[in-house]
Chain A
């Protein structure tokens, strides 16, 4: 048998193990894990947290964020609004990409155009940009279609890649995940960031090494950063991920399961860091079709009736979900973005009370005295306890007569499905990387009209002319007028019930005691600010 030869070879090799050089371990290697693996390394293809958490270590935007999410200079050292629709950015000099290309204004122009391509999923950050002008090698000016007061916030999410590298590698436009394209950027990355991509095996491991030449290492607030190597491994099973941390095989878990936090807190050498996340969980529904795809109601769409939406809202016992399903790790809310976001108003953050009788009455009033049946679409590995939340809600709705079947699936097929509008009602979580309310209103509630960024995540196809008007005002106005528009839109959100809001997520990170990393409310570990003792 061939196995014998192999075993003998292995035994022989075992003898030489001591002679092999030790792994480049040491205190500064951090092994971290999360449930999901980034599905591409393309900086402008997939705007999802699992991809960004890796790419933001490798690529720099013009403007970076501190761990408290405030802005700091990145590839641009200074920026100013020279005219209402014109911003000037002074670029950092002497920066090189990981593969040696010098960083110039050309790369900025190229990257912004690339992010505007139809195959990009980052349109929303560059939708207001009319054109980018290169003044000289280290100055660019961005001309916006209308005055865009939050452009710097948006640009903090747009990674800059090398024009010459992208063109050389046939990656001048973002990878189109729908068309099953293979491009260099699926597996390779070449940024200017604090870490360079050293090894990438999808689903297995991603290794990043410290970019010693990174300009930021000497800046205040970053000097303590001493991580030399980052080894990321996706571990999809909750139990295995926790076991790996407890047994010391990984140093950091981005998404420890809530049910295991007590045990982790009690374990020696392990620390749990917790904080709010800028992400809100809600339920959205098809309010467009005349007949729902996945319901037993024929000839009409119950969700078009405000009373039905209110009834489903009244039926949810959010405190029970908060206590039991979320084990206290949530902030129940009546709106769809948290207080850290510009435009948040406590006065509008009021829930419809939990009232099953009122829910039954509203359903009867709307013409559904016996309720109806519907399928609730739900991811099962995207948000904290997403499937469990859906199941709890299904039980609550069923109790008031809306017989709910939960269809839970992994995030890839789930998103593929709802992005085809192939759903009747679904659970979604929404983070706000720009920390401004416009991002939420524009993506989730604006009418999908072909304009860049409008309604691109509005899969229930909610459409209200007044809301669209307010979104337009948020895009162009500034100061008090803008805040007034946001406040009115929030009021409209409460009255119109386009979503059933649930809660803002709280996020725990679990790590070994020797790791010091500031908690970030966007759930992005900034390893450049981390210190390992």
Chain B
């Protein structure tokens, strides 16, 4: 177990270093921080002094080392656009994005798995066909169009739900949550549907495919032959066996959800990290982009690690082979 975790962490290290290198390259070479800080009028002496004080005259690896050291401590400098520490900006926005992503993931799981099981078991019923058609449309509709259509219907025409923002939030320490107020919960509905719909259809199709595969195996045929009820076969054996890939995909999709939150947050003006990122891309605000890149990479590595561990816990075969293979 320990060796498994260690090997996974060791594999993650080069990834993080590579990402940090990209981020550093953006920092050091793309924006020309010296020119930006000096403005229009400066002497060569002023420029040299600034270069020295920023440490830009030192060898590449010394600079990179410092950057990594700072990044580990959460020090990414000031945002060009808002003149505030980047890490503060991101910390302010992170709760909004995480709450939205978790709600969307839950929605996708809680609706997607039952739909997948149903369509897997009753392949030819009209409801299954309807679900499948629905899922195809869900995959073919771009997220932003779904968002716009939902706003048009539920905010403008019906006036039931808010069209933008998070509603009222309650501060629990540094975490601003929208889960505790009526307006916060209402504001969550449309964005989380928009964000979760694609994942929902994905999970549904995945569960269906896995169910179809599993139901064909000898193992299930054997269970039936033993005289187990349909119910026991379907839920005790078949569903349980589809869970491993579902867990993997859902875990990995959590990353996708956070990334797609960029689009949803733009449509709904949701004050999360994605909106911050897209505003920073528009304004070429390099420090924010670099920090977002590193943090998201760290998040993904962590998600991968957790998924691997879950896999390890669920699938006993992996334990015997010491964590190798598995694909």
The contact size tier of chain B is 35 or more
CA distance A200 to B81 in the complex (A): 16
Q: Mark B74-99, 1 if CB is under 8 A from A, else 0.
A: 00001111111100010010000000
- Enumerate chain B residues within 8 angstroms of A178, measured Cβ to Cβ: 36-37, 39
Given contacts A235-B269, A237-B269, A240-B267, contact A175 B83 (CB under 8 A): yes
B268 interface residue per 8 A CB criterion: yes
Nearest B residue to A3, CB-CB: B102
Nearest A residue to B98, CB-CB: A6
Is B279's CB under 8 angstroms from A203's CB? yes
Beyond A4-B106, A14-B180, A183-B83, list 16 extra A-B contacts (CB 8 Å): A2-B102, A17-B182, A179-B39, A180-B37, A187-B84, A202-B84, A203-B279, A204-B165, A233-B164, A235-B164, A244-B162, A247-B155, A249-B162, A410-B283, A412-B81, A413-B283
- Enumerate chain B residues within 8 angstroms of A248, measured Cβ to Cβ: 159
Given contacts A240-B164, A243-B164, contact A203 B271 (CB under 8 A): yes
Can you show 26 pairs from A to B with CB atoms below 8 A apart?
A3-B102, A10-B179, A13-B179, A13-B180, A17-B180, A20-B181, A175-B83, A178-B39, A179-B37, A180-B36, A181-B83, A182-B78, A186-B82, A203-B82, A233-B165, A233-B269, A237-B269, A239-B148, A239-B151, A243-B155, A244-B162, A247-B155, A248-B159, A410-B283, A412-B283, A420-B40
A82 interface residue per 8 A CB criterion: no
Is B185's CB under 8 angstroms from A247's CB? no
- Enumerate chain A residues within 8 angstroms of B266, measured Cβ to Cβ: 237
CA distance A233 to B269 in the complex (A): 10
- Enumerate chain B residues within 8 angstroms of A182, measured Cβ to Cβ: 78, 83-85
Is B163's CB under 8 angstroms from A240's CB? yes
CA distance A10 to B169 in the complex (A): 13
Give the 4 A-B residue pairs with the shortest CB-CB distance, closest first.
A10-B179, A204-B271, A243-B163, A178-B39
B23 interface residue per 8 A CB criterion: no
Q: Which residues 104-133 of A sit at the B interface, judged by CB distance below 8 A?
A: none
CA distance A395 to B168 in the complex (A): 46
Is B164's CB under 8 angstroms from A249's CB? yes
- Enumerate chain A residues within 8 angstroms of B284, measured Cβ to Cβ: 413
- Enumerate chain B residues within 8 angstroms of A409, measured Cβ to Cβ: 282
Is B83's CB under 8 angstroms from A177's CB? yes
Is A186's CB under 8 angstroms from B83's CB? yes
CA distance A204 to B152 in the complex (A): 22
Is B269's CB under 8 angstroms from A240's CB? yes
Nearest B residue to A420, CB-CB: B40
A219 interface residue per 8 A CB criterion: no
CB < 8 Å: which of B85, B163, B168, B276 contacts A244? B163
CA distance A301 to B148 in the complex (A): 46
The contact size tier of chain A is 35 or more
Is A3's CB under 8 angstroms from B40's CB? no
CB distance from A270 to the nearest CB of B (A): 13
CB distance from B319 to the nearest CB of A (A): 22
Q: Mark A9-30, 1 if CB is under 8 A from B, else 0.
A: 1100110010010010000000
A364 interface residue per 8 A CB criterion: no
CA distance A17 to B177 in the complex (A): 13
CB < 8 Å: which of A10, A23, A201, A410 contacts B180? A10
Is A246's CB under 8 angstroms from B156's CB? yes
CB distance from A427 to the nearest CB of B (A): 19
Given contacts A180-B80, A180-B83, A203-B276, contact A249 B163 (CB under 8 A): yes
Nearest B residue to A33, CB-CB: B164
CA distance A175 to B84 in the complex (A): 12
- Enumerate chain A residues within 8 angstroms of B179, measured Cβ to Cβ: 6, 9-10, 13
B105 interface residue per 8 A CB criterion: yes
CB < 8 Å: which of B81, B105, B163 contacts A39? B81
Nearest B residue to A7, CB-CB: B106
Is A243's CB under 8 angstroms from B185's CB? no
Taking Cβ atoms with an 8 Å cutoff, the residues of A that contact B are 2-4, 6-7, 9-10, 13-14, 17, 20, 23, 39-40, 175, 177-183, 186-187, 201-204, 233, 235-237, 239-240, 243-244, 246-249, 409-410, 412-413, 420
CB < 8 Å: which of A7, A17, A239 contacts B181? A17
Is A243's CB under 8 angstroms from B84's CB? no
Given contacts A3-B105, A179-B39, A182-B85, contact A247 B267 (CB under 8 A): no
Nearest A residue to B77, CB-CB: A180
CA distance A204 to B270 in the complex (A): 9
CA distance A249 to B160 in the complex (A): 11
B275 interface residue per 8 A CB criterion: yes
Nearest B residue to A187, CB-CB: B84
Given contacts A13-B180, A202-B82, A249-B163, contact A243 B283 (CB under 8 A): no
Is A6's CB under 8 angstroms from B81's CB? no
Given contacts A201-B92, A413-B284, contact A236 B269 (CB under 8 A): yes
CB < 8 Å: which of B39, B155, B183, B282 contacts A410? B282
Nearest A residue to B276, CB-CB: A203
Q: Mark B239-281, 1 if CB is under 8 A from A, else 0.
A: 0000000000000000000000000001111010001100100
Q: Mark B280-307, 1 if CB is under 8 A from A, else 0.
A: 0011100000000000000000000000
CA distance A186 to B151 in the complex (A): 34
- Enumerate chain A residues within 8 angstroms of B275, measured Cβ to Cβ: 203
CB distance from A494 to the nearest CB of B (A): 32
Q: Which residues 23-42 of B sit at the A interface, judged by CB distance below 8 A?
A: 36-37, 39-40
Given contacts A6-B102, A240-B269, A247-B155, contact A14 B84 (CB under 8 A): no
Q: Mark B135-168, 1 if CB is under 8 A from A, else 0.
A: 0000000000000100110011001001111001
- Enumerate chain B residues within 8 angstroms of A39, measured Cβ to Cβ: 81-82
CA distance A445 to B92 in the complex (A): 44
- Enumerate chain B residues within 8 angstroms of A410, measured Cβ to Cβ: 282-283
Q: Which residues 171-215 of B sit at the A interface, judged by CB distance below 8 A?
A: 179-183, 185
- Enumerate chain B residues within 8 angstroms of A17, measured Cβ to Cβ: 180-182
CB distance from A32 to the nearest CB of B (A): 13
- Enumerate chain A residues within 8 angstroms of B78, measured Cβ to Cβ: 180-182
- Enumerate chain A residues within 8 angstroms of B80, measured Cβ to Cβ: 180
CA distance A412 to B82 in the complex (A): 11
CB distance from B96 to the nearest CB of A (A): 9
CB distance from A24 to the nearest CB of B (A): 11
CA distance A134 to B41 in the complex (A): 35
